Amino acid sequence: MEQFQEFVINHPFLWAGVIVVLVALAVTEGLRRFRGQQPISVQQAVHLINTRDAVVVDTRSAADYSKGHILNAMHIPMAGIEGRAQEISRATDRVIICYCGAGTVAPQAAASLRKLGYTEAHALKGGINGWQADGMPVTRK
């Protein structure tokens, strides 16, 4: 314990940086939860697809989409999500599930759709990688 205290005393800028990063992470997570931007799990996504006829949107590149995607997913790359929102659904209360490769881009796509008035736009936690890790199928059709 003495070594730890000595380390903290001898490296105040390092510890200040660690504290700043931790506070920033806490604030970011708090804002996500407050705004309802928490990604949904694979199980929640399957439930929404089966019970509420959710529209699934793949935001990855065309090459990644052709390698495998969720059955019946629409391919709309992130760059075109706002301009092609009407193709996803004309009903702004329709459930939309966006996904990417690892779950880092889809939250931005869902947020863009929510700004356009789509109140039920969600991001898939873990993206297609999380989907496959949970044993869910993908297709190339």
CATH superfamily, region 38-133: Rhodanese-like domain (3.40.250.10)
> Pairing between strand 74-75 and 121-123?
unpaired
Domain ranges of the chain: 2-34, 38-133
Instruction: Return the pLDDT at 37.
Output: 67
pLDDT in tens, the chain (141 residues): 888 888 888 988 888 888 888 888 777 776 656 555 689 999 999 999 999 999 999 999 999 999 999 999 999 999 999 999 999 999 999 999 999 999 999 999 999 999 999 999 999 999 999 999 999 999 998
**Order of strands across the sheet that contains 74-75:** 74-75, 55-58, 96-99, 121-123
Q: Residue 61: phi, psi to the nearest 5?
A: -70, 165
